[in-house]
Structure 1
Amino acid sequence: MNLFEALEWSQWKNLAMEIKVQVISQVLMYFVSPLKQVSDVEYCEFELSGVKCQTFECSVDGERFVLVPGNKEAILGWDLGMHGVTTPYEVEKIKRTPYFEQLQMSYQLQTLEDWDIFINESTSSLRKVAIPPMLVQKEALPTGTTYIGEFNTITGEFVGNVAQFSPIEQTFRASFKQPTSFEESLTWRLAPEIFVEDAFYAILDPATEAYRLYRQQTCNLQELRKQTQADVFDLLTEDQWEYINGGGTRKLFRWGNESDSLSENQSHHKMLQENMFGLLFDISRTRWEVTDSNRLKLEKMEPTGLPLFDNLPLSSYYRSRKILSEEDKLLPSDFLYRKAIVIRSE
């Protein structure tokens, strides 16, 4: 069995750990640029809704990547409409956002047949494709950014790449303003994000009250593609994105066919957790995720309170109706991207 046969998922899941260790060693030796620093290689087991994968995580220049086995006969796309999917709530009981109103004009969304058509036309077509094995970034980044560290809003301390932080420190600290009076402190809240174009982008973690801080350079799709390739990575194709999200399982969502509301329930926990490949996906519906083409995944939309409508953009096979042009500006507040190293035999 050669390296590429071993990395086929049907073979990979049956390999002894000793063989898998040999395989990951070859992958890191021959497919990761020698200019990259690889560290913290870990053997992990991931599971989501009964689908398990034992694989490796590692850091490449400080960013976490996961080895995703390939599948030469992956079934992607969706043409089953509402089959097996939780029945939607009554449309009359929701918040009628402009986006919802626009789609309801086309699809009505009153009967199950309406929903069948809507779901099928909101997802990619059913197809069989060959997916190569890949090292995939565990969590997508805002477009045009490089993660440099965390800024603690309580202590005012920065932990991370100090050399990258120093040129933007003064501007960032000026943007991060504390209340100056007791009256201000009563209503003052930390900004969920701070953005200075072509300088930095910061996202607040409400749980820790720390900002994740990124250096930022505005780009379009063509420039993002070139930058990613120059950094010896790939952007995922639409096929590859759908596969790493749902593993080719015949379920509308990576966690199953439940479309429950985003509340503290079992489905919500599954949405948040790592999937069967150990990857994390944004569920905020505040950004699109970019692929190598003009096809966007996820969605930027205001929630309506109708679970199936709100959660459909989280489907493994969802296609945004927004078509990206090569020249569109990819602001980090609107778009995410995910790097990969595709393990090709040629």
Structure 2
Amino acid sequence: MSNNLFEAVLNPTWKTLSNEMKEVVIQNVLRHFVNPILEVTKITPVSYHFGGIKTDTFEIVIDGIEYVFVPGQKKCILGWDRGLSGLSGLDCSEERQELRYALKRYCNQQLTSSLLTEEGFLNQDFSHIRLTTEYIDEKINRSTSPLREVNIPALLVEKKPQYVGMKYIGQYNVVSGQLMSHENQTDNLLERIHSLLVPEGQNHYFLQDYPTVARKAPLLIQQNHLNPDIFNCYVDDAISYSDVKREVERHGFGLLNEDEWEYCCGASCRRLFKWGNQLKRQFFQQNISPLWKENMFGLTIANAEFGSELIDDVSVTKGGWLEETHKAPIINLLPLSSYYRGEGIEDKEKELTPGYYCVRKVMRVDSNG
């Protein structure tokens, strides 16, 4: 295959191509790298702006799943060893109490690790610790990957991760009281969904504020961001890391490695988070917060509604659930850092906690692909 193609899918060459030439390149990528048994149904040119970075790329639907083309880049600097450097002293102190209480409210309303496991916070409470500059500096560096220079190939990346160990069974409409996917519908299931939406002893829907998310094993329901009368419904379907990996690798896909994940998250920018190093007052307001937005590549990655993401390395996970464990907001938000390292998987064959992890598919566009 021509070396010109492999050069064209890398920045800075990709940025210099005309829109027409970019489309030719994408067609060649799909022709040579996507398994012909998979159906490509849509190719859409898109532009994303996030954190001061703009990317002109393509969204591609393959077998009903949305992917984004992420241009590759050589000599990317990834990892973090700067501790507090470049961060706001106020964000790193205990003075940002409005953010701390906003996080408390978020954890009470949204999906968290403790809700999925139906027990108290998995993370230990460190709110009693005196947060010195030295403690925070060390905590940030210990929680992030080491500084390094790497080459990243061009990638076709699934836009949004999927919950691991949870089977999607359809959308529940609170107005009709029915699942839109009738094949999964039973009276018992509808009754269980109803009990999650309406607390015991409350008999009327009228003017009721429904929970954003509710969990009672084996059922999880999550309110649709676009329509509050619709809830996405899942049931437990536990699976091991090894089985997840085998399923992902069907038809030529794979898992992101740590370098690729960090690049896809923050585009190799020298800042702790994909949006920058500052924390805004309205950080937990969904309509304006970066915690729920697609990033500069159009990816939902290290976002608030998902937990630890599985990668092609069992020793670490990337991203993670938000829990209110420290008084300093910057530490509580570290799981959303582009360079954060979560705990790995101890046993590849053991079934994972349903919904605690997430996973996405990737296809590499390089000479080894």
TM-score of the superposition, structure 2-length normalised?
A: 0.79
Structure 2 residue aligned with 1:90: 94
Gaps of 5+ in 2: 105-120
Determine which of 163, 169, 172 is the counterpart of 2:189: 172
- Residue 64, structure 1, aligned to residue 85, structure 2: no
Q: CA separation in 2, counterparts of 1:312 and 1:210?
A: 31
Structure 1 residue aligned with 2:296: 276
In the TM superposition, what are the counterparts of 1:235-314 in structure 2 within 5 Å? 235-260=255-280, 263=283, 269-284=289-304, 287-294=307-314, 295-304=316-325, 306-314=328-336
Structure 2 residue aligned with 1:339: 361
Count of equivalent residues? 336
Gaps of 5+ in 1: none
Determine which of 140, 156, 160 is the counterpart of 1:135: 156
Task: Report how far residue 28 of structure 1 moved.
Answer: 1.6
> Structure 1 221/243 Cα, relative in aligned 2: closer, same or farther at 3 Å?
same
Structure 1 residue aligned with 2:53: 51
Per-residue Cα deviation, 1:261-309 (whole angstroms, up to 9, x for no partner):
5636799523322111011135337621111212111223422563211
8 Å Cα contact 2:39-2:63 kept in structure 1: yes
Q: CA separation in 1, counterparts of 2:167 and 2:26?
A: 26
Structure 1 window deviating more from structure 2 (320-329 vs 78-87): it is: 320-329
SS of structure 1 residue aligned to 2:189: helix
Task: Report how far residue 203 of structure 1 moved.
Answer: 2.6
> Structure 1 183/212 Cα, relative in aligned 2: closer, same or farther at 3 Å?
closer
Task: Report how far residue 101 of structure 1 moved.
Answer: 4.1
- Residue 184, structure 1, aligned to residue 203, structure 2: yes
Structure 1 residue aligned with 2:224: 205
> Structure 1 299/91 Cα, relative in aligned 2: closer, same or farther at 3 Å?
farther
Structure 1 window deviating more from structure 2 (29-38 vs 74-83): it is: 29-38
8 Å Cα contact 2:241-2:352 kept in structure 1: yes
8 Å Cα contact 2:78-2:259 kept in structure 1: yes
Q: CA separation in 2, counterparts of 1:268 and 1:100?
A: 30
Q: CA separation in 2, counterparts of 1:222 and 1:212?
A: 27
8 Å Cα contact 1:255-1:271 kept in structure 2: no
Determine which of 345, 352, 356 is the counterpart of 1:330: 352
SS of structure 2 residue aligned to 1:298: coil
Task: Report how far residue 22 of structure 1 moved.
Answer: 0.5
- Aligned CA RMSD, in angstroms, stands at 3.3
Per-residue Cα deviation, 1:154-181 (whole angstroms, up to 9, x for no partner):
224545xx5xx61x32253242226599
SS of structure 1 residue aligned to 2:75: strand
Determine which of 320, 323, 338 is the counterpart of 1:316: 338
AA of the residue aligned to 1:204: Q
Q: CA separation in 1, counterparts of 2:297 and 2:362?
A: 14
Q: CA separation in 2, counterparts of 1:249 and 1:82?
A: 16
Determine which of 22, 33, 36 is the counterpart of 1:34: 36
Structure 2 residue aligned with 1:117: 138
Structure 2 residue aligned with 1:25: 27
SS of structure 1 residue aligned to 2:190: helix
Task: Report how far residue 227 of structure 1 moved.
Answer: 1.2
Percent identity of paired positions between Structure 1 and Structure 2: 31
